Amino acid sequence: MNIKQLLKNFSYTISSNLLSLVVSTLVVLIVPKLIGIQDYGYWQLYLFFTTYVGIFHLGWFDGIYLRYGGEYYDRLDKAKFNSQFILSTILELTLAMGIISISFLIRDNNKSYIIFMTAITMILTNMGQFFLYILQITNQIRRYASYTILGRLFYFILIVVILLLGIRSYKVLILADILSRIISLGYGVYCCRDMVFTRIRLETSNFKEAYLNITIGIKLLVANFASNLVIGVIRFGIQRFWGVSIFGKISLTLSISNLLMTFISAVSLVLFPTLRRIKTDVTRIYTDLRIILITLLLLGLIVYFPIQLVLPVWLPKYKDSLVYMAILFPMCLFDGKFEILINTFMKTLRLEKQLLILNIFSVLFSAILTLINVYIFKNLTFMMFSIVLVLGVRSTIGELILWKYLRINEIKQLLLEILIVSYFICVTWYLDLGVAFILYISVLIIYIVSHAKKIKKAISEFKSIN
């Protein structure tokens, strides 16, 4: 591994994700301040639906991701990938027409509009995903980052212009999102223009290639889809039984609690193609990366305190839902571990089947907890605890599975992390913010001091990986 190149790739993704973080933060802080709770709820519903449009490429791009991860762009068969782009575009257009037809049958005009626009977003997103996957698997992280930056920057500018013009409709916000996706897609076409603008040859071998990509990628697709559903099931339960307004408020809290995942995604993005190319023992990389990651995530929880101090004052309409950040913020630790350690290393070791089973189990567990709460407890606080519980169980089981293949055992460290997270939730939920801050910082200092040698050693070894 070229550590300089790795750090450079990290800098690209972190820069782009930092911009995404800034844009997301400003949008999260400004939009709910200026538009009504009902409109904000519908806007969040659209964002919620668009989270799942990726399933409609049927694992096609996931198969490409797994089969060609770590390849060099210049060595790719451009004609072969052109055929995959053409065929997948035809598939997306066909499926979109079906979804649009369904939208006309829905009586609720707002939901009908949202589903219609989701179909349009599906085409743009999935075609964009094709180019993003190509750039990622060939380790063109700079272009990948530029794709993200361009879309998010244009989106932010449009949102600002819309709000400055005094427009407060969620429908216009959706149009802004779609326009930004069109701009990003155009950049993706430009980056891979020698792959797109080449002679079209739809031969029998192209259909066989498509079939192979789908059959291999479907497991990873369903695993990723199930991963999104883990929280999605609970969010759907909130929308269905507590209404759009409460759904919007909780979505805001989830968005804020998930801000740390921006950086987690950056690391995960760079790691997969890099791990596929290196020759060093994967177990060593895993153990080094794990201690570094956990330390950073525990430090990241400090961000909760200034956010909880400022946001209730800035968004008083959402004060009743912002209290749940004490419960939801630690989900970044479990979700972060899952995305970087479990998800990335399972894909590198080609454990898609195990990943699929784990995520399906997590969705079923999430669904059971949601049904129990909706029909028995009917308690929103319990729903929030369910999110962290499900993510914690998924992360724990995932690590146990991975340890079996890597032949390691970090059970004591795992139990310590769970204990610290539980401690964080308890002190922030039950105690005054200032007292909670002092108590958590004290425990964090003890953790860092007691693990100082191990952290220093991990950083040193990680730099020497090749």
Is there a contact between 331 and 384 (Cβ–Cβ < 8 Å)?
Answer: no
The b/e string for 342-362 (b: 16+ C-beta within 10 A; e otherwise) is bbbbbbbeebbebbbbbbbeb
Tokens at 220, concatenated = 């990873």
The 10 Å Cβ neighbour count of residue 210 is 19
Angle (deg, nearest 10), helices 433-450 and 282-300: 150
What pLDDT is recorded for position 4?
A: 60
Is there a contact between 8 and 138 (Cβ–Cβ < 8 Å)?
Answer: no
**Using CA atoms in the order 241, 245, 246, 247, what is the torsion angle rounded to 10 degrees?**
80
User: DSSP characters for 364-400?
Assistant: HHHHHHHHHIIIII--HHHHHHHHHHHHHHHHHHHHH
Tokens at 36, concatenated = 């009504």
Task: Determine the Cα–Cα distance for residues 259 and 23; give it in Å rounded to an integer.
Answer: 11
The 10 Å Cβ neighbour count of residue 57 is 26
Tokens at 341, concatenated = 């350690």
Single out the residue of 53, 22, 41, 27 nearest to residue 251, CA to CA: 41
Provide Rg for the chain, Cα atoms.
Answer: 22
In the chain, how many domains are there? 1
Could you tell me the CA-to-CA distances from 412 to 259, 346, 419 in Å, in that order? 28, 22, 11
Is there a contact between 141 and 9 (Cβ–Cβ < 8 Å)?
Answer: yes
By CB atoms closer than 10 A (0-12, 13-18, 19+), residue 100 is middle
The 10 Å Cβ neighbour count of residue 409 is 11
By CB atoms closer than 10 A (0-12, 13-18, 19+), residue 456 is exposed
70: left (phi over 0), alpha (psi -120 to 50) or beta: left
Residue range(s) defining the domain that contains residue 284: 3-463
User: DSSP characters for 283-318?
Assistant: HHHHHHHHHHHHHHHHHHGGGHHHHHHHHHHH-GGG
What are the residues whose beta carbons fall under 8 Å from the beta carbon of 195, sequence distance 6 or more? 76, 78, 81, 82, 85, 134
Is there a contact between 127 and 92 (Cβ–Cβ < 8 Å)?
Answer: yes
Task: Determine the Cα–Cα distance for residues 282 and 406; give it in Å rounded to an integer.
Answer: 8
Q: H helices within 69-108, ranges in order?
A: 78-103
Is there a contact between 200 and 82 (Cβ–Cβ < 8 Å)?
Answer: yes
What pLDDT is recorded for position 401?
A: 92
Single-letter amino acid code for the residue at 459 = I
The 10 Å Cβ neighbour count of residue 322 is 20
The pTM score is: 0.70
Question: What phi, psi does 265 have (nearest 5°)?
Answer: -60, -35
Low-confidence ranges of the chain (pLDDT < 50): 1
